[in-house]
Amino acid sequence: MSETMTGAEMVVRALQDQGVEHIFGYPGGAVLPIYDALFHQDKVKHVLVRHEQGAVHAAEGYARSSGKVGVVLVTSGPGATNAVTGLTDALMDSIPIVCLTGQVPTHLIGSDAFQEADTVGITRHCTKHNYLVKRIEDLPRIMHEAFYVAANGRPGPVVIDLPKDIQFASGTYARPASNQHKTYRPQVQGDMEKIKAAIALMASAKRPVFYTGGGVVNAGPQAAALLRELVRLTGFPVTSTLMGLGAYPASDPQFLGMLGMHGTYEANLAMHGCDVMINIGARFDDRITGRLDAFSPHSRKIHVDIDPSSINKNVKVDIGIVGDCAHVLEDMVRLWRSTAPQVDKVALKGWWDNIAGWRGRKCLAYRKSSDVIKPQYAIERLYELTKDREVYVTTEVGQHQMWAAQFFKFEEPNRWMTSGGLGTMGYGLPAAIGAQLAHPNALVVDIAGEASILMNMQEMSTALQYRLPVKVFILNNEYMGMVRQWQELLHGGRYSESYSHSLPDFVKLAEAYGGVGIRCDKPDVLDDAIREMIDTPRPVIFDCVVDKAENCFPMIPSGKAHNEMILGDAAEDIGSVIDAKGKMLV
């Protein structure tokens, strides 16, 4: 049924029809008609952030933890440009976002009007798609189409630029019969012949490994369940990228931990020495591959990805399957069961023996202290004291992010939210706010560094305003830790501008916002302090003072291969030597 209404009312009605419950935004002159329309309804709840970058990150946290599309509303000019970092972050990490931006009236576009910016031009390279609405007749279609584009295929951010005169104009609204874009039809079913070839190659493997990524998480809980089934059916080891953590349970003995620059020794050497690699939903980015010409040099590679442009982009593969991970994994499980391939059990046992030897290095070991809190210990204790709860973890970016990935064990997908591709400092707190809104009864913790948290600290006001009991767990080493580590290892210990000067008193800062501040600098009282944080039904900033000099290991130095890892001095030396094919010679 069609109705006559203004463009602003169409925007709000389309959001309602899409089932949107929360929208993150900041008002300004170019979007006031939409804000007025929001005022006259109660189905879509607006969340007032304190910065437009925070709005997009909050929408990302909401989307990643709930599986829904995150929605953002910002004004023209600086409102739109402030959102660019968040949009780029969402594009890199494949997060479905619809961002509504205000624009000057159509007749002023191109005149350098007050708060005008070429939003479509600026966001062309940091969005999956964008629109400039020039006719009221197009608005209903564009609104619904944007949700389809954002959520289908490889997810990503979509911008709708809304001139102010279009918001005031009257037109006819009717929900389209279909949300689909007229030309965008992502392929979800994999090529069956290629899937059969992949199964045959997997069956012939002597040193196989599953390499899984965020695409499994994005494909929904069914994909994670099917991945677990396939891994257990085959008996193969499995590793994960930073973005894929939780798709396979961390406690399972077949899981090798995270791979990549700060991944585990066993995961990286398995990738280096495997003869068949099964990549499910990962994109072969540089933090995973290391030096490309030395990346897994003796393996045949299978790559499953919904984005056709990812196949053979960074690494040439033997079998490239374009399709949704859930659909392809379903076919793989069915074929493996029906064909019951006979794997080389002797070779597979030998492969697992090698992996056991690599695990014996205990690459995540660190030297504990009774005097100072080690950052690894802080994450371990946080995990142990929260693992029996419904917990969602976000992070900022830096050493603390890598320690969280290494020491916080995720058993389910959608519980881990971090900035992977763009590496955005300031991501964690607003993302935690979004996750907390999506899961009001859950424990949401932002594992932060003292430098990163200051990037978007203003969002504590949002947490307080909406009574969101997010916990900010700061590993405070008084340095931009990852910068300092690289300066130590690569620049002769010249710590140029990496020391965090003039830090606030985080306890007083929390109290200034109306929250609760906790400070802890002794290992023997850490557990009690963490319990106090967990039990506090209000936003908390936890200032955990940790060892200033601790480095994050293992580490693949920039430009090196997987078998050129640096281990920490607490890792065990078992005298192992790795040959060209990954076999361990003791």
553 catalytic per annotation = no
- Active-site pick, 16, 21, 115, 564: 115
Q: For residue 526, which amino acid is it? A: L
114 catalytic per annotation = yes
Which burial class, exposed, middle or buried, applies to 337 when counting CB atoms under 10 A from its CB (0-12, 13-18, 19+)? Answer: exposed
List helix spans (H) across 83-218: 84-92, 119-123, 139-151, 164-168, 192-204, 214-218
Q: For residue 293, which amino acid is it? A: D
Q: In what order do the strands lie in the sheet with 22-25?
A: 45-48, 22-25, 70-74, 97-103, 157-163, 129-132
- Active-site pick, 9, 52, 266, 380: 52
Residue 42 CB contacts under 8 Å (≥ 6 apart), including other chains: none
Number of helices followed by number of strands (H, E) in the chain: 22, 22
- Active-site pick, 417, 482, 555, 584: 482
- Active-site pick, 68, 164, 301, 471: 164
Q: 445 - beta bridge partners?
A: 393, 471
- Active-site pick, 114, 168, 193, 368: 114
164 catalytic per annotation = yes
Burial 242-261 (b: 16+ CB within 10 A, else e): bbbbbbbebeeebbbbbbbb
Cα-Cα-Cα-Cα torsion 158, 164, 168, 171, nearest 10 degrees, comes to -40
478 catalytic per annotation = no
Q: In what order do the strands lie in the sheet with 238-240?
A: 255-258, 238-240, 208-212, 276-280, 300-305, 319-322
Per DSSP, 250 falls in state T
202 catalytic per annotation = no
| Tokens linked to 216 | 């499994």
3-6 and 540-545: which strand pairing?
unpaired
Question: Which residues does the annotation mark as catalytic?
Answer: 52, 114-115, 164, 482
